[in-house]
Amino acid sequence: MLYDCPYAVSAGSYLLEMLTPEETDEFRRHTLQCVYCQGEIVSLLPGALFLQELRAGILAADQHLCTDRPALTTVAARELRWVFTHG
Going residue by residue through the chain (87 aa), what tens digit of pLDDT does each one get?
455 798 888 999 999 889 999 999 999 999 999 999 999 999 999 998 888 888 888 888 777 665 555 555 555 555 555 555 555
CA-closest candidate to residue 27, choices 49, 35, 19? 19
The per-residue pLDDT for 1 is: 46
Is residue 38 in some structural domain? Answer: yes
CATH of the domain at 73: 1.10.10.1320
Is residue 37 in some structural domain? Answer: yes
35-68 and 21-31 helices cross at what angle (nearest 10)?
140
- Cα–Cα distance for residue pair 25/12, rounded to 1 Å: 15
Q: Which residue type sits at 51? A: L
> How many domains is the chain built from?
1
The per-residue pLDDT for 21 is: 94
Is residue 1 in some structural domain? Answer: no
Q: pTM here?
A: 0.60
Show the domain range for 30: 6-86
